[in-house]
Structure 1
Amino acid sequence: MVIVVGIDGSGTSLRAGAYAVGMARRQGARLIGVFVRPPSGGTLSLGDPFGASIASAFARPEAVESEFRDTLRRERLAVDFETVVRTGDPFTELCQVATERWADAVVVGRSERILHRIAGSVADRLVRCGRWPVTVVP
């Protein structure tokens, strides 16, 4: 089983990550964390903008993966984890990773932006896409 989780540094994406870790642990699944960099000049988010520390970590995606793995080991959670860093539209990139890795489920955080509640968020678009079971974490 493969679970794809979108992480962007926002509070809801971090809760989605925690939820996905628990889900992967319980089901013995592989967890793939997807970080999407914006195209040059764009905002850095699936939901909210990144803090400076998260944005600087994107310069070295291996550091992000290493830090996450260390956290999992420290908490003694036996989860097979991989980080994928992409550049582009978050919805498109999450769909591509989920398709390429034969995902069984996708987990994302609910958008905290008011505009996304009106115009549609990545989570809404994933649910409407209907290719995978999608869990939207508040």
Structure 2
Amino acid sequence: MTDQQSTQFERGTDGPKVIVAGVDGSDSSLRAAAYAGGLARRQHALLAIVYVQPVMAAGAALGVPVADTTDEIAESLAGEIRAAAERVKDMFEVRWEFHTFRGDPYNGLVAAADELKADAVVVGASEQAGHRIVGSVAIRLVKAGRWPVTVVP
């Protein structure tokens, strides 16, 4: 094993310091966030919940207020997460942050994981049938091999 391979995931600590969970509002992404929250609690890590706001050039070209819509989705997701964190704070507490990035889901999560110096990435399994043929964000993240990736059904 080369020096570079042996230090690829190591950041000088025992266990992860930052766990990124990708959310898009789907049931599987919310389960992934809950799973990542449990990991973060047990590892005393920061849970970075990431929503990637899609850039829909076609909609913007037609005058559709795409940014406003995706901002509303991000605010709604952040509100749901705050409410869930408030409900469980007496049982356990997790340090968490909510981040939004713009772009396609794969590149947005890669940018988030890089910027936040993620030690692990947790995503939900795709709920779209076409992804079995084309490939899902989860599969692409696993194939990238840059972080340990957990895919939650």
Give the TM-score taking structure 1 as reference length: 0.82
CA distance in 1, matches of 2:38, 2:83: 16
Pick one of 98, 110, 123 that aligns with 1:108. 123
Report the number of matched residues. 127
In the TM superposition, 1:4-23 aligns within 5 A as 4-23=20-39
Q: Shift of residue 116 of structure 1?
A: 0.5
Q: Shift of residue 63 of structure 1?
A: 5.7
2:136 is the counterpart of 1:121: yes
2:88 corresponding residue in structure 1: 75
Q: Deviation string for 1:10-60 (max 9, x for gaps)?
A: 1110110110111111111101111111113579xxxxxxxxxxx968327
- Structure 1 unaligned runs (5+)? 44-54
Q: Which has the larger radius of gyration?
A: 2
Sequence identity percentage = 50
Give the TM-score taking structure 2 as reference length: 0.75
CA distance in 2, matches of 1:123, 1:34: 14
* 2:37–2:47 Cα contact (<8 Å) kept: yes
* 2:53–2:70 Cα contact (<8 Å) kept: no
- Structure 2 unaligned runs (5+)? 1-16, 60-67
2:151 is the counterpart of 1:136: yes
